[in-house]
Amino acid sequence: MPGPRVSIQTADFDLAQEVAALREDDRRIGAVCSFIGTVRDRNDGSDVVSMELEHYPGMTEKSIEAMIDEAHRRFDILGARVVHRVGLLQPLDQIMMVAVISAHRGQSFQACEFLMDYLKTQAPFWKKEQTPEGARWVDARVDDDAALARWGIEARNA
């Protein structure tokens, strides 16, 4: 039986293990598309020493689950998995991953990009960056109306 589709966790993850669990010897799968986001050492022109990500347990998972359901409606995919880390992270740390499986590569690529655009613009995460000048809260969601419009999603009001 497949594992959970969404995990919000403090621990790091292993992409190979996540993909192996998602595939589970399913012979219909002809494509796996994945994306990993990592912590950069700069943001908005400032050095980033570390960052801390927060979320509302339950609400965040429910929101991402709904977008995976939407990806299944829009694309011919066999499965998807999102892992997103919270807590204190350092430059080079993995923040999140999206993996999508399908019979053909095009559907996996599109669904992966759809889920990434959602995560960057709509998922409820909050980020505090530590810089040499001190701590600052920044919206973890990038306001990218063009990315949303491409998928027919209306921008949310902050």
Domain 6-148, architecture per CATH: Alpha-Beta Complex (3.90)
73: left (phi over 0), alpha (psi -120 to 50) or beta: alpha
- Give pLDDT, residue 123: 86
- Give pLDDT, residue 137: 78
- Give pLDDT, residue 128: 83
Q: How far apart are CA 3 and CA 98, in angstroms?
A: 14
118, 153 Cβ separation under 8 angstroms: yes
- Give pLDDT, residue 158: 46
Place of tokens 């889920």: 115
pLDDT by 10s per residue, the chain, length 158: 467 899 999 999 999 999 999 999 899 999 999 999 999 888 777 788 889 999 989 999 999 999 999 999 999 999 999 999 999 999 999 999 999 999 999 999 999 999 998 888 888 888 888 888 888 777 656 666 666 667 677 766 54
117, 100 Cβ separation under 8 angstroms: no
Angle made by CA atoms 83, 85, 91, in degrees to the nearest 5: 120
- Give pLDDT, residue 141: 62
- Give pLDDT, residue 41: 87
Sequence ranges of the domains in the chain? 6-148
Q: Cβ contacts of residue 47 below 8 Å, gap of 6+?
A: 41, 131, 132
